[in-house]
Amino acid sequence: MTRRQALDLRLRAQQLDRDEGTIADTALLDIGAQDTGADGALWALANRGVEHPPAEELATVWTLRGAPHVYRRGDLPGVAAATAPFSDADAGKRIYDAAKPLKAAGIPNLAALDAVAAAMRSIVTAPMAKGEMSTRLNAVMDEPYQRSCRPCGAVHLYEMPFRLAALRAGLELEPGTSPPVLRPVPGLVPLAAVPGRLDVVRAYLRLLGPATPQHVAGYLDAPVKDVRARWPEDAVEVAVDGERRWLLAADADRLDEPAADVTRLLAPFDLYLQARDRPLLVPERDRAADVWRTLGRPGAVLAGGEIAGTWRARKTGATVTVSVGLWAPVDGQRLAEQAERLAAFRGLALTRLEVDG
């Protein structure tokens, strides 16, 4: 298969080519919509035809890579099971530097997450700000769980165990709170078995395939060994411009379906940009470096099935200016329509659209 076939398949799978949808039929919510930045999960849903989702049907939790993600509220028991580490080694990889003092103290990584979760569960019985919970949590946890934080000038728990234990403790994030406020999810008990629709390996292949075990492992922050052990039996091998990859068998039959020609302003952490094969999306190194900056990452312009440039939005009072830098021609009217949509989404008036390129 060609690069373009792979990108078209991905665009269709993520439903970026539709104008209307519902929470129930939005595939993005199977793997979670990352809620980072001013245009987070809700803008990702708007770009997939879900403009005004009922807030009570969604829930925000810390899951993959410790980032906040939005899911269907009814899926939370399955999400808790699906996003949990696959093994103790996986848990150690996901908590980064926190694993070293735990190992020195003879504490298994999964046991450590359970211990933090148990303490969180006992502390947070009503909405509580992260800072207060962190202070109270630190007071009841032993030294191997703690780190001296120079920026804060204080001792507190390592960040990743803190975040990855929250859902294990049955806690969600109150939407729109900064600093985050956590609250209990009544009656949340993880499922014993992960529903196929929420399986994170399958979901990656379905929404970001064709891919390799290394791509999936990079997205999950998991060891490749654990991903290989959970590789779907119905994954079929394909070649993308000569490179060995895999797709779910059901998707291999849809390679010749063209994707609709749409224009979208993707937020910096939209799932489409979260694929771990960045050279497939943006082959030019200088352009890729701009799209995936470590700090101050811009959004990306999706047009004609390609990433055609980047965009930024500057808020001034009740207005916003959208600045676009293009690498390839994009229909001006479509671009203006998307800028207007973004402004309306933010509840602002569009002052002007600045286009460079």
Structure tokens at 138: 């630190």
Q: For 72-101, what is each residue's pLDDT tens digit?
A: 999 999 999 999 999 999 999 999 999 999
- End-to-end C-alpha distance for the chain, whole angstroms: 31
CB of 120 closer than 8 Å to CB of 62: no
Residue 153, pLDDT above cutoff 90: no
Residue 282, pLDDT above cutoff 80: yes
Residue 150, pLDDT above cutoff 90: no
- Return the pLDDT at 325: 98
- Return the pLDDT at 154: 77
Residue with tokens 């049955």: 170
Which backbone phi and psi does 16 adopt, to 5 degrees?
Answer: -75, -5
- Work out the mean pLDDT of the chain and round it to a whole number: 96
Structure tokens at 83: 């996003």
Confidence of residue 39 (pLDDT cuts 50, 70, 90): very high
Confidence of residue 258 (pLDDT cuts 50, 70, 90): confident
Which residues lie across from 325 on neighbouring strands? 310, 356
Q: What integer is the mean pLDDT of 145-158? A: 84
Confidence of residue 252 (pLDDT cuts 50, 70, 90): confident
Q: For 289-314, what is each residue's pLDDT tens digit?
A: 999 999 999 999 999 999 999 999 99
Q: For 197-226, what is each residue's pLDDT tens digit?
A: 999 999 999 999 999 999 999 999 999 999
Q: Convert the chain into a string of H (helix), E (strand) and C (coil).
A: CCHHHHHHHHHHHCCCCCCCCCCCCCCHHHHCEECCCCCCHHHHHHCCCCCCCCHHHEEEEECHHHCEEEEEHHHHHHHHHHCCCCCHHHHHHHCHHHHHHHHHCCCCHHHHHHHHHHHHHHHCCCCEEHHHHHHHHHHHCCHHHEEEECCCCEEEECHHHHHHHHHHCCEEECCCCCCCEEEECCCCCCCCCCCHHHCHHHHHHHHHCCECHHHHHHHHCCCHHHHHHCCCCCEEEEEECCEEEEEEHHHHCCCCCCCCCCEEEECCCCHHHCCCCHHHHCCCHHHHHHHCCCCCCCEEEEECCEEEEEEEEEEECCEEEEEEEECCCCCHHHHHHHHHHHHHHCCCEEEEEEEEC
- Return the pLDDT at 357: 80
d(CA 137, CA 117): 10
CB of 287 closer than 8 Å to CB of 221: no
Closest to 14 measured CA to CA, from 306, 233, 209: 209
pTM exceeds cut of 0.95: yes
Which backbone phi and psi does 257 adopt, to 5 degrees?
Answer: -80, 120
Closest to 232 measured CA to CA, from 246, 215, 221: 246
- Return the pLDDT at 156: 85
- Return the pLDDT at 270: 98
Sign of CA dihedral 105, 107, 109, 115: negative
**Number of neighbouring beta carbons within 10 Å of residue 70:** 25
Residue 152, pLDDT above cutoff 80: no
- Return the pLDDT at 259: 76
Q: What angle do CA 300, 306, 311 make, to 5 degrees?
A: 20
